């Protein structure tokens, strides 16, 4: 019984340390991302089209460009009446993420 308890404890500690290591690698990938502010006029037409469709009532406040896994990704900060939204859009116009439209500035 004592050996079984030791084995169980060892298995749990191994999983916890492996999970911690995996989270540290993910943080490294995110922090190495080079996000560069760009002019709104530099956004691809496909990105503008997606913004017009999904966020028609918002105004573009800032735009950023990054290359992740050899693909261009655009981070857009949008505002409307003191509220903001954030959108992440691939260069082909695919919406890949967005922040809540209900948060205040």
- Over residues 41-61, the pLDDT tens digits come to 999 999 999 999 999 999 999
Q: Are residues 52 and 13 in the same domain?
A: no
Put simply, whether the predicted model's pTM sits higher than 0.75 gets the answer no
pLDDT value for 52: 95
Q: Are residues 27 and 71 in the same domain?
A: no
More confident position, 18 or 74: 74
Q: Are residues 14 and 40 in the same domain?
A: no
Q: Are residues 71 and 46 in the same domain?
A: yes
Tokens 């503008």 locate to 48
Q: Are residues 26 and 53 in the same domain?
A: no
Q: Are residues 64 and 98 in the same domain?
A: yes
CA distance 42 to 72: 13
Q: Please, what is the average pLDDT of the chain?
A: 76
Q: Are residues 20 and 41 in the same domain?
A: no
Least Cα distance to 40 among 23, 20, 60 occurs for: 60
Containing structural domain, residue 3? 1-32
First to last CA, the chain: 58
- Identify the bridge partners of residue 63 per DSSP, sorted by sequence position: 38, 76
């Amino acid at each position: 019984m004592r050996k079984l308890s030791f084995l169980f404890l060892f298995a749990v500690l191994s999983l916890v340390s492996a999970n911690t290591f995996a989270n540290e690698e993910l943080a490294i990938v995110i922090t190495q991302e080079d996000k560069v502010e760009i002019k709104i006029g530099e956004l691809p037409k496909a990105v503008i089209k997606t913004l017009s469709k999904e966020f028609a009532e918002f105004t573009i406040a800032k735009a950023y460009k990054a290359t992740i896994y050899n693909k261009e990704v655009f981070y857009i900060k949008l505002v409307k009446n003191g509220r903001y939204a954030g959108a992440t859009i691939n260069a082909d116009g695919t919406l890949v993420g967005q922040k809540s439209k209900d948060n205040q500035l």
